[in-house]
Amino acid sequence: MILPIYTYGQPVLRERTIPIKEDSDELQGLIDDMIETMHNATGVGLAAPQVGRQERLFVIDLRGAAEEIAETNDGEIPFFAQEPLALINPEVIGIEEDAVMEFEEGCLSIPGIVEWVTRPERLRIRFKDRHFNEHELDADDILGRVFQHELDHLNGILFLDYLSPLKKRLLKRRLSDMANGAVEADYPLAPPGEMASAE
Ligand code: ZN
């Protein structure tokens, strides 16, 4: 089932999420729905708060970048780029502080806005997949980038928060319009209604 996506200004995007304790049919159904919703919106990642939920969970699909990822992995496509992946209770367990990379980021919850964001380039990450198998691996380049963006969603952080004060001023009008419900996308959005709060 395709779920409506919550957009900038809706409080659920600013709330912290709650660790997932155990597997359930409901959780598996939510994962399926989130993957379908991500595909419908042609996104590479989608976090639970973006569909109005508070589970510590996001899904990614890096198959579109599989060949690029393989180039830095001895020509082999790693498991995380072979199929859509659910990441449960994800965490960063190490950051190489002196290596950063700039990358253009967009967000399904902030349609139409793409900006350059600087983030750490190399991380060590840990998460459980949808079968509750634990993984610990080095995440650099594309995986590291998507992982950080989606993990931020689980902590109520949006990529806009990293922009310079000048950039934020330039976007202020568009964002306040968006928070007031002036937002369009070619995928279903959650109705703003009383959920919106100006930031
Ligand atoms: Zn996002």
For β-strands 122-128 and 85-95, DSSP reports them as: antiparallel
Report angle CA 148, 5, 139 to the nearest 5 degrees: 15
What is the C-alpha to C-alpha distance for residues 67 and 46, in angstroms, rounded to an integer?
22
- pLDDT at residue 193 in the model: 59
Give the residue numbers marked as catalytic.
150
Task: Examine residue 3 and state whether it is found in any structural domain, yes or no.
Answer: no
Answer whether residue 198 shows pLDDT above 50: no
Distance (angstroms) between ligand 1 centre and the Cα of 110 equals 7
Q: Which domain holds residue 66?
A: 11-179
pLDDT in tens, 92-120: 999 988 899 999 999 999 999 999 999 99
Stretch 131-135: mean pLDDT: 97
Query: In degrees rounded to 5, what are phi and psi of residue 67?
Result: -65, -40
In a domain, 72, yes or no: yes
CATH number at residue 79: 3.90.45.10
199 inside domain? no
18-41 average pLDDT score: 98
Whether residue 74 lies inside any domain: the answer is yes
What pLDDT is stored for residue 194 in this prediction? 47
Q: Is 2 among the domain residues?
A: no
The answer to whether position 5 is within a domain reads no
When divided into structural domains, the chain yields a total of 1
Sorting pLDDT into bands at 50, 70 and 90, what band is 64? very high
For residue 153, how far is its CA from the centre of ligand 1 (angstroms)? 7
**62: CA distance to ligand 1 center in Å?**
15
DSSP for 147-159 reads HHHHHHHHTT--G
Q: Assess if residue 190 is contained within a domain.
A: no
Section 150-171 average pLDDT: 97
